[in-house]
Chains A and B, each alone.
Chain A
Amino acid sequence: MNHPATAAPSILRRLPFSTTALAWLAVPCLIALPFLGLSEYAIGIFTLGLFFAVYAMGWDLLFGYAGEPNFGATFLIGVGAYTAAMLNSNGIAPPWICVIAGSVMSVIAGVLLALPALRLRGPYFGLVTLVAVLILRQLIILFSHQTGGEIGIAVPDVLTLSAVANYEIALACAIVSAIMIVLVARSPFGLILQAVGQDPLNAQAMGFSIVKYKLAAFCYSAFFSGLAGALMTFYMGTASLNVFVDASVGVQIIIAAIIGGRRTIIGPAIGGVFLVVLGEYMRPFGRLSELIVAVIALLVLLFLPNGLLGLLKLKRSAR
């Protein structure tokens, strides 16, 4: 075991830390972040990053635990965002009611998305989710009088005008989502979900209902995706196709989860913030920025397939 490569970060290995403890340590730092003299612009970037973190965590629950490769995360997010935006822009409901309605509609969308997952496996299901996003896009363009079509739909109300308050709302959303998803992932429910995802036949033979567990996982994941989507709509002031209902945004969510480390929940959250900040940092490169981010993501995929937290886990298991 005294291999030079594993011996190097000896402090790292001796610390009795767990990712959970680290995550709890990070919470006060995150709450204090906007008071450290960051510009409002930088706070705004972190706000978006936190919403992205929630999307990535929701994706990880579906893929890492239920084993469903969801390429249509933006289907769930988009339904939440557009429900909130349409209710608010027509003056039907105040912001907070819209956010709740968005989350609920997103759960319904989750059930719709779960139905094919019960019949199809692996790549087939991945394709259906991709197609779901394309269809939602077409529908939104088709009913452009109500939805704003390709231009998007503006929401008249805001939750708050202060950048710091918006940041704290996003942070609260991210922390609550993280706690709820981690709790579920580590509960007996999460274990059974893993069993159902990895070996459905045996799980069924042991008497677990695949239908029940997968449906529950989709609803749970959809609820938080929709919640974050609706909140982000009010933060951005508009719901538009290219932000909320876009296949490539769905792929970015997957990349965030892989960079952070699949099957860790907290990892994808870190990956989400990282990816948004990286994208912003590369903005001065103009069109080249997308290329650079794609190349970096590809390199991580090929050379660090277990992601950031996967690396830590590997070190600990080498002890």
Chain B
Amino acid sequence: MLVQLLISGFLISAIYALATTGFTLLYGVSGILNLAHGTTLVTAGIVAWYVAGLTSFGPLQIIVAGVTSGVVVGLLTYALIVRPIQRLEGLSEADEHVFMLVGTLLWTIILQEILANVFGDVPVSVPQIVSGVVNIFGVRTPISSLMVAAISWGLLGALWLYVGFTKSGRSLLAASINPRGLVLCGFNLTMIHQVVWIIYGLLAGVAGVLIAMVHGVSPSGGLELTATAFSIVILGGLGSVTGSLIAANIIGFIETATAYLVGPSLRSLPSLIILVAVLYFRPQGLFGRR
């Protein structure tokens, strides 16, 4: 029982970590809370499912299709919603925040309805990458679930290398710390924001396909995914990637434990309560800076 709980907690945490990192990165670098995040994940998952059903495509093509749609949705969000709102004149800072949240929420509804009309409003899931199960300490675990966890952590490792050790990655980090200084050093901030949106799309695309593989996705399930991402990001601290990785594990394990010990229908309640407690007592989260 305990081993089972640990293993499924680990698997779900890996996906949560990947699904949240793009969201955090986006907030850290460009200060935007993308409420269409969950629907971006769902779009990638549904496109991957559609491609998988078309012909006998291999797993690689399926993932590529999902990731491409993630990037496309990311760039569309930037070009159609975020950029126009930033360009509006006469908005105070509070106005812009509300406009951004409302704009991305409307975008969520638009995407959701388009998906439901094109692909039907039903839950779909992408076929497993590989079949077979392994026995870990007496718990039968599908190999593909382990693969999913490996892909998640591998991608997060790659992101860490990119941000820490390449010039373009370091400029992202600089943009989150001091955007004005970066501009004074001759960097093009708009271009950096575009790069962030592409990376965001990549991460969301992969995460979306993986979620569709493990849990299945449906057009109307986007907001729920956004809410989970929120809980994680706020617990870890808005804009802190390390924080959200740790928080993803905390929330993942707590949700799994609740689902096993109390009941699956209440799985999201403890994380909501933690979320409110954090917001009351430590609004900047575990690792956030204000």
Contact = CB atoms under 8 A, between A and B. Distances in A.
Given A142-B269, A288-B113, A294-B110, A123 B275 contact: no
Contact of A131 (B93, B114, B275, B283): B275
Contacts of A130: 227, 230
A291 interface: yes
B106 A255 contact: yes
Contacts of B275: 131
A198 B94 CA distance: 9
Given A138-B266, A288-B113, A291-B114, A69 B279 contact: no
Contacts of B99: 258, 301, 305
A126 B98 contact: yes
B223 A247 contact: yes
Interface residues of B, number: 43
B105 interface: yes
B267 to A, nearest CB: 10
Contacts of A298: 81, 103, 106-107, 110
- Scoring A130, A198, A298, A306 by chain B CB atoms within 10 A of each residue's CB, the highest score goes to A298
A71 B106 contact: no
Nearest to A286: B117
A132 B227 CA distance: 12
Interface of A is mostly: helix
A297 interface: yes
Nearest to B92: A198
A149 to B, nearest CB: 10
Interface band, chain A: 35 or more
A254 B98 contact: yes
A128 B276 contact: yes
A138 B106 contact: no
Contacts of A297: 106
B100 to A, nearest CB: 8
Contact of A122 (B91, B97, B102): B97
B230 A295 contact: no
Contacts of A258: 99, 102
A10 to B, nearest CB: 24
Nearest to A69: B98
A287 B117 contact: yes
Contact of B113 (A127, A255, A294, A306): A294
B242 interface: no
A146 interface: no
B85 interface: yes
Contacts of A186: none
Interface in B239-277: 265-266, 268-269, 272-273, 275-276
Pick the 4 closest A-B CB pairs, nearest first: A291-B113, A294-B109, A298-B106, A69-B98
7 contacts: A120-B283, A124-B238, A138-B266, A287-B113, A291-B113, A301-B103, A305-B95
Interface of A: 63, 67, 69, 71, 115-116, 119-120, 122-124, 126-128, 130-132, 134-135, 138, 141-142, 197-198, 247-248, 251, 254-255, 258, 262, 287-288, 290-291, 294-295, 297-298, 301-302, 305-306
